[in-house]
Amino acid sequence: MNLINKYFDKNNLHHAYLIEGEKGEMVREIEEFLKSLGVNTVGNPDFIYIQLDSFKIEDARNLKSYATQKSFSLGHSTTGEASEKKIFIISANNFLLEAQNSLLKLFEEPIENTHFFLIVPDVNSLLKTLVSRFYLISTKQDFTETAEVEKFISMPLKSRIDFIKELLTEKDEEDEDGNEIIVLNSTRSKALKFLNALESVVSKTVFDKNMSRTVLDTSFFEHLFKVREFLRMPGSSTKSLMESVAIVIPNFKN
């Protein structure tokens, strides 16, 4: 179904992807993508697939140990050439808090030629500090989200800006001592989810209206791509980036 392949760049592979969705479909697509890079997913000691119900502190320690080991490299590409990449696919229904904290430094400091693909059912169960270290991809989209996007598209610009302000309002979960526990919906996570839904709705609207390529300004989709990239950069302004999206939405009025 190519739900996530569009987010992968063969020439600029990110060191860590966080993918929200159904693991069976996601793993198949990741493996197809890796094969297109010449990475063998069978009998390759540099390709590791970890599937767990609950990812614990000992699993985090083992992952860090595996990740820092030297690549076996030779003889494990589908093209017969040396493959220098180490690939980890990790699928878990739940990441314990201790494990998340243990993984922070691993994903903060990329290891050369080492790439991670984490698959989770819901990114909102993860610490925002951990999520921020990933290229986030979400394949989840519910009817409420779609309805919100459709309303957003039809709004005048001022209302869109107000909508963005409300969308990015964030309330942190705290424990009894006032310490942050988990992120319910970080601003960047919400922004990226909304962009995914927006792209889907705009694409469908264009198709349904049978618009010509002249009417559809493809620069809008290019802008979405750039905004996604900037959202994943530390220090970038989520509010400013999302407001720029509100400004460049195509006019679908007849």
User: pLDDT for 13-38, tens place per residue?
Assistant: 889 999 988 788 889 889 999 998 88
Average pLDDT of the residues in 216-236: 77
pLDDT band at 185, cuts 50/70/90?
Answer: very low
Q: How many CB atoms lie within 10 A of CB 24?
A: 10
Instruction: For the chain, give the mean pLDDT.
Output: 79
The reported pLDDT for the residue numbered 79 is 47
What is the SS3 assignment for 82-147? CCCCEEEEEEEEEECHHHHHHHHHHHHCCCCCEEEEEEECCHHHCCHHHHCCCEEEECCCCHHHHH
| β-sheet with 47-55: strand ranges across | 47-55, 86-95, 114-120, 16-20, 135-138
Which segment of 114-128, 144-158, 186-200 scores lowest on mean pLDDT?
Answer: 186-200
Average pLDDT of the residues in 131-150: 77
Residue 177 reports pLDDT greater than 50: no
Average pLDDT of the residues in 82-111: 88
Average pLDDT of the residues in 191-208: 77
Question: Vertex 23, ends 19 and 197: CA angle to 5°?
Answer: 45
Token readout for 170 is 């964030």
8 A C-beta contact, residue 220 and residue 153: no
Q: Where exactly does CATH 3.40.50.300 map onto the chain? A: 5-138
8 A C-beta contact, residue 92 and residue 55: yes
Residue 127 reports pLDDT greater than 70: yes
Residue 183 reports pLDDT greater than 60: no
Token readout for 179 is 């310490």
The reported pLDDT for the residue numbered 209 is 58
pLDDT band at 112, cuts 50/70/90?
Answer: confident
Average pLDDT of the residues in 137-158: 79
CATH superfamily for 5-138 is P-loop containing nucleotide triphosphate hydrolases (3.40.50.300)
CA 219 to chain centre: 22
pLDDT band at 168, cuts 50/70/90?
Answer: confident
The reported pLDDT for the residue numbered 122 is 80
pLDDT band at 2, cuts 50/70/90?
Answer: low
40-95 residue pLDDT tens: 888 899 999 999 999 999 999 999 999 988 877 644 444 444 457 899 999 998 89
pLDDT band at 174, cuts 50/70/90?
Answer: very low
